[in-house]
Amino acid sequence: MEINLNHVDYIQVGVTSQKTMKLLPAIGRKATQKVAVADHDGVLTCFGMKKGEAVPVFKTLPGQKISRLELGGAQGTPQEKIFVSCGSEVRGFTKKGKQFLCFEANLTESINAMHVSGADLFVCASYIYNHYCDCKDQDYYLSGDKINDIVCLPVETVGRTVPILACQDRVLRVLQGSELLYDVEVPGPPSVLELNDKDGGKEGEEVLYGTADGKLGLVKITESSHVSKWEINNDKRRGGILCIDTFDLVGDGVRDILVGRDDGTVEVYVLDSSNEPILRFEHVLSESVTSIQGGCVGKENYDEVLTTSYTGWVTGLTSEPQQMEAGPGEEVKMSKETQAKVAALRSELEQLQVKVLQGREKYQQSSQSSTAVSTVPVFSVNDKFTLCQDDASYSLTLEVQTAIDNLLLQSDVPIDLLDVDKNSAVVSFSECDSEQPNGNFLLATYRCQANTTRLELKVRSIEGQYGTLQAYITPRLQPKACQVRQYQIKPLSLHQRTHSIDQDRPVNTLSLVGQFSFAEIHSWVVFCLPEVPEKTPAGDNISFYFHNTFLGTQLEATYCKGEAHFKSDNISTISILKDVLSKEATKRKINLNISYDINEDSVSHTLTMIHPKLEYQLLLAKKVQLIDALKELQVHEGNADFLIPEYHSILDESAHLLEEYKKQPAHLERLYGMITDLFIDKFKFKGQNVKTKVSLLLEILDNYDLNSLMDFFNEV
């Protein structure tokens, strides 16, 4: 069955955080539902729709930024009490807007995730989890990495309290009281959790999760272990998931899964007969979708998907046909309500304009005074800088509450800026004299088209070269101001955290012994590797595992006070670590005793790992080169029957080949670069400088053959 949904805008509130909009339960069977939405201005708005007009039920006064909104109520009654978290406080409101609770959680940090169930309140700050029952402290847990979301299995079905934390280090932590019950590994950093079917399914144990790299999955959390039901990969490279809801939109009695992503995509997955989700509807909004709900808001009997966007638009995708009598005459007639709406908006705008003019005048006057100061207007920027696993490049997304005018990118490390198709901004690279003492390696401006609030960029880094990427964002807002955001390009930028590694590979070891504290060595590891929590881990020693997203090699870091060991099958990784760590230690005047143990086999092991990738790329490049010539032959001869099967298949697959080739620009060059690094690093550890032989190596690579390459590595 086809789902046809139409876009309707309801109202706009301030900038919103993730999961800050909920639908209140319907009163009658067919009535429309009220919407509760909270924003960064601290305003909680509750409204309903009447004849296409948003009628506010109540609105609270501005205050601290609201980070979450949840519904709750006594067990067995309708869940219509509204709870919001702002700062370290949790407030409760009735559906009429009366505040009945103001609870100070006494956390040092502000709350960023919350769950309400009956009299139980679960809140999380960055690393801390707290459970309160009737506002009394119950349990406490300190997580190893940042907590992104929390959900609790329904007590009424499961019979016990099972809080589940979504943590940045790619695990769901299942708790029991103040103790960790077990970990559930998920394929990416989980960003949102939701109970399946709103109540966790029949047994109440099913949890949906969405990850920051766009994957979606369902796990069953049983008493002792977990069962992964299904997982959807992000093949289309959509944005990260910010919100999930379940709602029966199709009307087949099974709740469908609604997903909102940070690139503005709204998706509806329908479960098929074998309970596998299938994508049935997709719509792209212009901003990231922070909350999503299924219900009925605009008109009775018409179900819809309600979303809020980053800039605060509450938008419905309704099944109500938005058809209008398109008269044969002149313009499409506007309905009376919309005309009134437009007129009201216009008069409001006029009043505002006058006020703004006054404000401008005052501002001008103040600029004459020699003592007044001028501050920069603050605007919020929603940014994300993440490593994409499949093409080993970083993607930078920036979102501002108003339209972006221009963006300046500056980097002090050599990086490549890749074109993203979705972008309509005009990019222009500026010359950067590296001779100058300014040390710029990249200076690029993006001039945005009108109404661009969101920008997506792709950046390719080289391991071993580290520094900072800075983005200066200037929105179209008077008085003009810009904000700078910094992103670290770490020395081992292409590494990603993982939970287990292959222990059988030949490894090279780097050992550090010296007078450093646990916190110091941890800060060095944070400096070198991405996805390591900044907070020094609890305990005396720690191990982290990583894998290289580009080559598939791995790294194990184990360290404690005064001692650290790094193991990797890739010599280059060890070499980079050695350089960076010794530099860092020298900076802090710490005497380090560095020793390394190089395994010759690891080089050939790494080369064999690269081999299939390289071979594939070489073959692909060769095939792509042939496509045009073969096509010409085909046109010339009228058919392709005379060609040998190999060429035939190239012709048949040409579209696919070209697509594949386009997907990985400069892949071959990157592989060559890494092999060259490997070559230099291997001999660096032996104390030999082989830079003069690099040209020979490139020659061998041009006529690539695994054996001759290995021979070359061994011979020199």
Partner 1 sequence: MEFVAKVVVACLCTRPYFRFRGFIVGKRTSAGRVCARGAIMLVPIFTLKLNHKVNPRMVTMGKFDGIHPCLTAATQAGKVFIHNPHTRGQRQVAHRLSQSAQDSDISLLNINQAVSCLTAGSLGPNTTGDTLLVGSQTNLLAYDVHDNADIFYREVTDGANAIVLGKLGEIPYPLAIIGGNCALQGFDYEGNDQFWTVTGDNVRSVALFDFTGDGKNELLVGSEDFDIRVFKEDELVSEMAENETVTSLCHMHGSRFGYALANGTVGVYDRTARYWRIKSKNHAMSIHAFDLNADGVEELITGWSNGKIDARSDRTGEVIFKDNFSASVAGVVEGDYRMDGQIQLICTSVEGEVRGYLPASKEMKGNLMDSSVEQDLIRELSQRKQNLLLELRNYDENAKATPGVSEGDSGMGVIPANTQLQTALAVRAATESQRAHIELSISTPNGTGWQYQSPEESPTEDSASQARLVFFPETIIRAVLIFAEGIFEGESHVVHPSAQNLSGCVRVPIIPPKDIPVDLHVKAFVGGKSSTQFHVFEITRQLPRFSMYDLNVDPDAPQPTGRVAFSINDRPQRVVMWLNQNFLLPEGIESPDVTLTCLRGGGLLSISMESNGEITLNTDDIDLAGDLVQSLTSFLAIEDLQAEADFPSYFQELRTTLTEVDEFHSVHQKLTAAIADHSNHIRNMLVQAEDARLMGDMRTMKKRYIELYDLNRDLINEYKIRSNNHNALLACLKSVNQAIQRAGRLRVGKPKNQVISACRDAIKNNNVNALFKIMKAGTASS
- Report the site for partner 1 in 479-508 (rule: CB under 8 A): 479-485
Q: How far apart are CA 375 and CA 550, in angstroms?
A: 45
Q: Based on CB atoms, which residue is closest to partner 1, 7 or 237?
A: 7
Instruction: Choose, by CB under 8 A, the member of 31, 55, 119, 349 that binds partner 1.
Output: 349
CB of 646 to partner 1, least distance (A): 21
Tell me: does residue 55 bind partner 1 (CB under 8 A): no
Instruction: Choose, by CB under 8 A, the member of 336, 447, 499, 622 that binds partner 1.
Output: 447
* Identity of residue 534: E
Which residues, numbered 579-608, are part of the site for partner 1 (CB under 8 A)?
A: none
Tell me: does residue 340 bind partner 1 (CB under 8 A): no
Instruction: Choose, by CB under 8 A, the member of 26, 101, 443, 624 that binds partner 1.
Output: 443
Instruction: Choose, by CB under 8 A, the member of 31, 227, 345, 696 that binds partner 1.
Output: 345
Rounded to 5 degrees, what are φ and ψ at 685? -65, -25
Classified as helix, coil or strand, 385 is strand
State the DSSP code for 709.
H
- Sign, CA torsion 637/643/646/652: positive
Instruction: Choose, by CB under 8 A, the member of 225, 233, 428, 593 that binds partner 1.
Output: 428
429: enclosing H helix or E strand: strand 426-429
Label residue 562 left, alpha or beta by phi (over 0 means left) and psi (-120 to 50 means alpha).
left
CB of 459 to partner 1, least distance (A): 17
Tell me: does residue 326 bind partner 1 (CB under 8 A): yes
Tell me: does residue 652 bind partner 1 (CB under 8 A): no
CB of 404 to partner 1, least distance (A): 12
Tell me: does residue 404 bind partner 1 (CB under 8 A): no
Tell me: does residue 209 bind partner 1 (CB under 8 A): no
Q: How far apart are CA 568 and CA 546, in angstroms?
A: 9
Task: Decide: 663 and 393 in contact? Cβ < 8 Å.
Answer: no
- CA distances 629 to 403, 621, 626, 638, 703, Å, are 46, 14, 5, 14, 22
Tell me: does residue 325 bind partner 1 (CB under 8 A): yes
Tell me: does residue 12 bind partner 1 (CB under 8 A): yes
* Identity of residue 662: K
Instruction: Choose, by CB under 8 A, the member of 75, 430, 582, 708 that binds partner 1.
Output: 430
Residues 6+ apart with CB under 8 A from 82: 22, 24, 36, 44, 46, 69, 70, 71, 92, 93, 94, 95
- CA distances 652 to 129, 618, 631, 634, 660, Å, are 57, 19, 10, 12, 14
Which residues, numbered 355-394, are part of the site for partner 1 (CB under 8 A)?
A: 355-356, 359-360, 362-363, 366-379
Q: Based on CB atoms, which residue is closest to partner 1, 348 or 705?
A: 348
Which residues, numbered 273-302, are part of the site for partner 1 (CB under 8 A)?
A: 281-283
CB of 222 to partner 1, least distance (A): 38
450 burial type by CB count under 10 A (0-12 exposed, 13-18 middle, 19+ buried): exposed
CB of 273 to partner 1, least distance (A): 21
Tell me: does residue 412 bind partner 1 (CB under 8 A): yes
Nearest to 259 by CA among 236, 229, 238: 238
Tell me: does residue 434 bind partner 1 (CB under 8 A): no
Name the one range near partner 1 by CB under 8 A: 472-480, 508-516, 593-601, 683-691.
472-480
| Residue written as token pair 């506007």 | 334
Tell me: does residue 696 bind partner 1 (CB under 8 A): no
Q: How far apart are CA 346 and CA 684, in angstroms?
A: 71
Give the neighbor-by-neighbor strand order of the sheet with 289-295.
6-12, 313-318, 304-309, 289-295
Instruction: Choose, by CB under 8 A, the member of 637, 652, 669, 711 that binds partner 1.
Output: 637
Which residues, numbered 224-283, are part of the site for partner 1 (CB under 8 A)?
A: 281-283
> How many residues in the shown chain lie near partner 1 by CB under 8 A?
102
CB of 24 to partner 1, least distance (A): 24
Q: How far apart are CA 68 and CA 380, in angstroms?
A: 17
Tell me: does residue 635 bind partner 1 (CB under 8 A): yes
Q: Based on CB atoms, which residue is closest to partner 1, 303 or 531?
A: 303
